Structure 1
Amino acid sequence: MALSLLLATTAAAEPVYPAPDPDPFYAAPGNLAAHQPGDVLETRILPPLAGFPGATVRLIEFRSTNSRGAPIAATTTVLTPAFQQPGMPLLSYQHFINSLGTGCAVSHLLYSNDVNLSATTPMLNVLLTRGWSIALPDHLGPQFALGAGRLGGQITLDGLRAAKQLPELALQTSPTLLTGYSGGGLATAWAAALQPSYAPELQLAGAAIGGAPMNLVAMAEGLGLEPHPAFGLAMAAAIGLEREYPEQVQISSNLNARGRALRDAMANSCTNEILAIGAGGSAREMTDQASVFNMPEAWSVVEDNSVELYGGAPRIPIFEWHSPTDPLIPLQSIDNTARRWCAAGVRWQMVHVPAIDHLSAAAVGAPAVLAWLEGRVRGEPAPSNC
């Protein structure tokens, strides 16, 4: 497994956390523990965006919860249409951030011509022109803990709570939906699955999940120990999980000089940099350990962040799309999740899109996602091919 050697536990070493955002807005206030999940801590109006003409851009800091149950400060960026009306739909879009640096926050990427975000910009603009508001949470949390899917689900739900608290957004009674692709699909899947227990008061109308790694263990097995074009993502996920679970996941203790150099090079990097830095790497090259160790604590973390292995199920309709030839994500895990959620009574519609790779499926599937989301708002029966 590509993560096996990286997750071996020996003598402890400190995780490498991202550099703090220089903007004090993102810092947690001193009275954070006095707030409830979803409570608004601070808001800021950001400059207009050329990519979303006419939209008001509002950054919201709110209280959320990390994987150990402790309070954290998180952020979401909310786009509201030029002619906003009370009660119009609210969509939480989980962008595939897949990053490790605070400079990769969505509120920063919106102003940097991020090519990955541009894949879904047309769909989001269509919804804005129809009066929808769009929330884009920083679902990796303040430490940018890539791979911590449960955390992403909780932040996504608390971001919706926060958006609905602000009177100026007039979203208190709005139909509310979720969507996301790849790493954003992972956060979306976790938000949908956790909502009945974590945020039961939130009334969700549905969730569209695209190209999501439903089982991180299976994804690690698929990447393997040999050189792989996407090794950077495996390495970054190990770094992210160590940040969120430092007592259980200790990769830094097992890295050799080459591994430490790679870790440090990507510690503050965004998606495309991580892919470029780690391309063709392998776990064998990054550690001095010669074999796979028994690592129950570390692997339990990977399992606990795998949606396929979570015992709960959503109580809302699900639209799921991916390429049937996707070389990156474990397709069998999507099928397994579909069978389990269907057995639990979920209205699940799976769509295979005609894309040959992982990233292009995000854009290819966008028209079908748009139609499905609008159908939920119109109150149409959710289609299912369970």
Structure 2
Amino acid sequence: MARLARLCAVSIVVAAASALRPAPEQNKSTVAPPSRDPFYETPDWAHTVKPGTILKQRNLPSGLAAFGQSFDKHFQYTQQILYRTTGEDGSASATILTVLVPHNADYSKVVSLQVAEDTASIDCAPSFGFLAASADYPALDAPTVKVHLLLAQAAFSRGWIVVIPDTAGPKAVYPTGTSAAYAVLDGLRAAFHSAPMTNISSNASVGLWGYSGGGSETLDAVRVLPSYAPELHITGAAIGGISPFYTDLADAIAVLNKGPAANLIPVALLGGTAYRPDLREALEKALKPEFRKHFFSALHQCHDANKKTFYNDDILSMFTDPQSAISIFSNASMSPQALSTDMAPKTTPIYWYQLEEDHLVDSSKIIQLVKKWCAAGSHIDFQLETYSGLKHAGYGLVGAPSAVRWLAGAFEGRAERGGCSNKTVSTPQIEPHYSNMFPKQLQANMKLFVSRV
């Protein structure tokens, strides 16, 4: 996997040290999206180096912002790192890691935050979506991605270094599979290699965190850890609201079709065939001609624009045979790299938080999966949220404080016990100590977000 030209790799890291000096914020109108930014391109020689090797690095080309608020003041420095990873087909690939180092940094604690992109476009990667410049591109402006900066603040306010990998990779795979898991683990390798830039301790404790699609990626990373990156020790992983495609595909499509989240069907079919041109061609042929342009528009928009485009659409009626949509995605999911739910995570303690009345995720099936894995030897602390006034996305914010508390306990060694635990809670609002981290207007927006989505 890795014939490393050692001198080249060392020179990359040493030269990177000069990038520590904060650069003045550039005019955001000059910032190109990933599909037009040469920094995102995988070098031809990437296959000659080991996964996790740093290929390029730079200061962020624009400030960080979400919901009208700049986040730049929270960090002593930030970086984007292009690093070598492994694609869904096993080939050499590369993706971006965003590194956020707060002013009060504890260099012995690192959290990898996986973002729910829910998209089939590389232009929707969090490395771009977190930038203030992304607002210049309406179809690419993604509040669903930006809300993860609010999650990140719960972590970096404790001094933890936060790293965010672009898990969908250069081909924008969705639902993400093993390539996303590899991107998470290789991102951690790159983070440790970045010590000359970031001062991350060589023996730093590592936590993983992800909600919704990001939760699925986090869970997959934990499951492939023993075989793909056995040298990494993950102290604990917090996951919540995992992707509806994680349990039963046919049921998920039936639930999503004609609903407010119908956009996830074309995104899943386009993202799921990203590495399979034969299936992408079959997908195009299976669509009725009058719907092809509409369907493929999902390739050029991020989640929030796609949600508006496909809101309540009968996606299955766009196919000459509705069953062909399920068949195409099933074939894409049956790749040799696909993970089976029989593969229980046993090496890393997990905190799993799930909304009981989740319109996107069947909580009863999640409970069954947790029981199955606990019986197989997993360590899962499971928390079921019963408050009926919450929805899937809003619970991502409401559940964040409990996830961070659990990770803090894991960093202190309190997640090393064996076995599983179950807890039921009712949380009607965002915990005040969390919402009070933000300006008043943003607090109001957060409450509105929770009440509506």
Bucket of the pairwise TM-score, normalised by the shorter protein? 0.7 to 0.9
Q: 1:69 aligns with which of 87, 90, 111?
A: 90
Q: 1:364 aligns with which of 398, 401, 406?
A: 398
Asked whether the equivalents of residues 259 and 285 of structure 1 are also in contact (C-alpha less than 8 Å), the reply is no
Q: How does 1:75-114 map to 2 (within 5 A)?
A: 75-86=96-107, 88-112=108-132, 114=142
Residues in 2 aligned to 1:375 and 1:359: alpha-carbon distance in whole angstroms: 25
Which whole-Å deviations, capped at 9, do the CAs of 1:223-267 have from their partners, x for residues lacking one? 328522211101101100111233456312211123312233111
Q: Which region of structure 1 is more displaced relative to structure 2, 146-155 or 361-370?
A: 146-155
Give the equivalent residue in structure 1 for 2:266. Answer: 235
Give the equivalent residue in structure 1 for 2:320. Answer: 288
Q: 2:156 aligns with which of 118, 128, 147?
A: 128
Q: Which region of structure 1 is more displaced relative to structure 2, 359-368 or 252-261?
A: 252-261
Asked whether the equivalents of residues 219 and 330 of structure 1 are also in contact (C-alpha less than 8 Å), the reply is no
Q: 1:385 aligns with which of 421, 425, 434?
A: 421
Give the C-alpha shift of residue 208 in structure 1: 0.7
SS in 1 for 2:353: strand
Give the equivalent residue in structure 1 for 2:211. Answer: 181
Q: Using CA pairs below 8 Å that are at least 6 residues apart, which structure has the higher relative contact order?
A: 1
5+ unaligned residues in a row in structure 1: which ranges? 1-18
Give the equivalent residue in structure 2 for 1:257. Answer: 289
Which whole-Å deviations, capped at 9, do the CAs of 1:105-162 have from their partners, x for residues lacking one? 2121112474324544344224323221101111011011111322211111111111
Q: How does 1:138-177 map to 2 (within 5 A)?
A: 138-167=166-195, 168-171=197-200, 172-177=202-207
Which whole-Å deviations, capped at 9, do the CAs of 1:304-362 have from their partners, x for residues lacking one? 68766242424111111121000112323312321232123222111122353111110
User: Which protein has the bigger helix share?
Assistant: 2
Give the equivalent residue in structure 1 for 2:226. Answer: 196
TM-score, scaled to structure 1: 0.87
How many aligned positions are there?
Answer: 366
5+ unaligned residues in a row in structure 2: which ranges? 1-32, 65-69, 136-141, 423-453
Give the C-alpha shift of residue 200 in structure 1: 0.8
Asked whether the equivalents of residues 41 and 62 of structure 1 are also in contact (C-alpha less than 8 Å), the reply is yes
Give the C-alpha shift of residue 295 in structure 1: 7.9
Give the equivalent residue in structure 1 for 2:3. Answer: none
Give the equivalent residue in structure 2 for 1:43. Answer: 57
Which of the two has higher C-alpha Rg? 2
Give the C-alpha shift of residue 21 in structure 1: 1.6
Give the C-alpha shift of residue 276 in structure 1: 1.2
Instruction: Provide the identity percentage.
Output: 25
Q: How does 1:217-228 map to 2 (within 5 A)?
A: 218-224=248-254, 227-228=258-259
Residues in 2 aligned to 1:381 and 1:59: alpha-carbon distance in whole angstroms: 31
Give the equivalent residue in structure 2 for 1:315. Answer: 347
